[in-house]
Amino acid sequence: MASTVRERLTGRAVVRDRDEEHRAATPLELFFDLTYVVAVGRAAGALHHQLAEGEVARGLLGFATVFFAVWWGWMNFTWFASAHDSDDVPHRLLTFVQITGALVLAAGITRAAEDRDFAIVVLGYVVMRLGLVGSWLRVARDQPTQRRRAGRYAAGLFGLQLLWIAWLAVPSGAQLAVFVVLGAAELAVPMWAEAAASEPVFHPDHIEERYGLFTIILLGESIVSATAGFQVAFDDGGLTGPLAAVGLGGLVVAFSAWWLYFDHPGHLAPQPAVAFRWGYAHVVLFASLAALGAGLHLASEAATGHADERTAALAVAVPAAGYLLGLVLVLVVSGATALAVRVWPKAVGAVAILVLGAVASVPVTAAGAALVLAGLATAMVLDGPSHEASNLGRGETGR
């Protein structure tokens, strides 16, 4: 009995079968994702506040820095779990450490985005990453064939956490430049570590599902944020034509964004040849969805005269266009050509939305963005399934 209890408490790291059938997200992964709703919501809320105050450049910079931390923490855990989810006691506890770090990070987002005080964000980020270091050390201990790869991950992540702590002492004028360097180093660690692997160990279909779930979370957060703005505006002045246009337009944008991602070719199962490019390219798509809720919230306020109209119009147009360009990027890095029928209309649509944001009123921008995205979704439906398009993620070329 004692040995059985000890085995249950200590566990053993595993390497999951990348060809395992019916691999689905676990309850722990879903719990992990839900904690990120808090962080994404805080980031979107801080962006909205800064835009409403007219601090556009400051708001965008703050949002970009904190969203990078949120996205990168989620992404690293997701790919680790795809290959090494042992679902034992140590794995669960180390995941709880990462969840705790994510929540601490979320608590510091407003202060970081608005006041450039990153102490709490860095503390949360370090806690989150140290949990992942522990997970990689288990793999190095228990899986000799993965020892070199896991050791590189653990060493790279631990070393970077020391540098992030030191970053807090960097003079404010140089912090952004150093942030970019450290961010690039974070992106490089997985490529360096995976170069030590004899073959890929992630599960493509599992990763595909996990990215899809995160997309749904971001869409949901956008709807929540937009609804909050609509409710405040409605309570303030009742339902007006401009407010109705913003509300209906935002809803259609969300519906169409879902359709464009999940319909064929949809979110594509990443294959080894494109895995890094596919995974990293999603940051444009994810960040745009996270910012969309803040933009729609501001648009509701502008529709009732409580926010600058041009700022609000661009706050809707830029993330809506960014989402389309994010889809284009994912498709192109997955093997599509820029002239593929699933690609170039999205780029044209993005340009059209940006033009609307630069010259049109808030209601017209919201309605126009909705028409563009709905039109693209409708075109996909009418065009019908495409064997080439649905296999872009497997390295084939779209038509």
Domain boundaries, the chain: 25-194, 204-394
pLDDT at 264: 59
d(CA 40, CA 217): 9
Residue 128 · residue 160 · CB < 8 Å: no
d(CA 194, CA 136): 13
pLDDT at 108: 93
pLDDT at 391: 45
d(CA 244, CA 199): 53
Residue 136 · residue 153 · CB < 8 Å: yes
Residue 366 · residue 245 · CB < 8 Å: yes
d(CA 136, CA 144): 12
pLDDT at 6: 66
pLDDT under 50: residue ranges of the chain: 1-2, 386-399
Q: What pTM value is reported for the model?
A: 0.89
pLDDT at 361: 93
Tokens of 188: 């490089």
Q: Which are the contacts of 186, defined by CB distance < 8 A and separation ≥ 6?
A: 72, 160
Q: Identify whether 242 is preceded by a cis peptide bond (ω within 30 of 0).
A: no
Eight-state DSSP code of residue 199: S
pLDDT at 9: 66
Residue 291 · residue 322 · CB < 8 Å: yes
pLDDT at 267: 56
